[in-house]
Amino acid sequence: MLAPNLYQLRMGVGHAYLWRDPGSLTLIDTGIPGSGERIVEAIERLGWDPDELRTVFLTHFHPDHAGGAAELATRKGVTVVAHRLDAPVIRGEASGPEPDMAGAPQWERDLYAEVPHLPPAPPAPVHREVEDGDELDIAGGALVVGTPGHTDGSVALHLPDPGVLFTGDIAAGANGGVMFGVFHSDRERALGSFRRLATLEVETLCFGHGDPLLGGAGVALRRAADALD
Ligand SMILES: [Zn+2]
For residue range 53-98, list pLDDT tens digits in order: 999 999 999 999 999 999 999 999 999 999 999 999 999 999 999 9
pLDDT of residue 10: 80
* Dihedral sign from CA coordinates of 115, 119, 120, 122: negative
Task: Quote the ligand 1 centre to 34 CA distance (angstroms).
Answer: 17
pLDDT over 90 at 2, yes or no: no
* Distance between CA atoms of residues 205 and 202, nearest Å: 7
Task: Quote the ligand 1 centre to 62 CA distance (angstroms).
Answer: 5
Residue 155, helix vs strand vs coil: strand
Task: Quote the ligand 1 centre to 83 CA distance (angstroms).
Answer: 14
Task: Quote the ligand 1 centre to 135 CA distance (angstroms).
Answer: 23
Tell me, what amino acid is at 177? G
Parallel, antiparallel or unpaired: strands 128-130 and 79-83: parallel
DSSP label at 52?
G
Q: Are 137 and 57 in contact (CB under 8 A)?
A: no
Task: Quote the ligand 1 centre to 144 CA distance (angstroms).
Answer: 17
pTM of the entire structure? 0.96
Task: Quote the ligand 1 centre to 15 CA distance (angstroms).
Answer: 11
Residue 168, helix vs strand vs coil: strand
Parallel, antiparallel or unpaired: strands 79-83 and 53-57: parallel
Task: Quote the ligand 1 centre to 39 CA distance (angstroms).
Answer: 19
Task: Quote the ligand 1 centre to 32 CA distance (angstroms).
Answer: 11
